[in-house]
Amino acid sequence: MHFEIRRADARWAWVLLNDVNETIAESDQTYPSAAQASAAALAFAHLVARAGKSLTVAPPSGTLL
């Protein structure tokens, strides 16, 4: 997967694409600069990584709910 920063009219947005360039996720807002759109994409990536870590942690009881 990879992010692309795209021009959306006079503003910018991010799009997350899979290996065959299908859209997986996209920003729900636009940003005044490409740098701000890139920062928002990075923040989204960090949130997804953190959520992924919480899914891989085994509960204390050892059983999945």
* Residue 34 to residue 37: CA distance in whole angstroms: 5
Question: 60 in a domain, yes or no?
Answer: no
Inter-residue contact 12 to 5 (CB < 8 Å)? yes
Question: 11 in a domain, yes or no?
Answer: yes
Predicted TM-score (pTM) of this structure = 0.76
Question: 36 in a domain, yes or no?
Answer: yes
Please state the domain count of the chain.
Answer: 1
Looking at the predicted structure, is the pLDDT value of residue 25 above 80?
A: yes
**pLDDT interval class at 36 (50, 70, 90):** very high
Kindly give, in sequence order, each residue whose CB lies less than 8 Å from that of residue 8, ignoring residues fewer than 6 positions away. Answer: 30
Domain of 39 in residue numbering reads as: 2-50
Looking at the predicted structure, is the pLDDT value of residue 8 above 90?
A: no
Question: 44 in a domain, yes or no?
Answer: yes
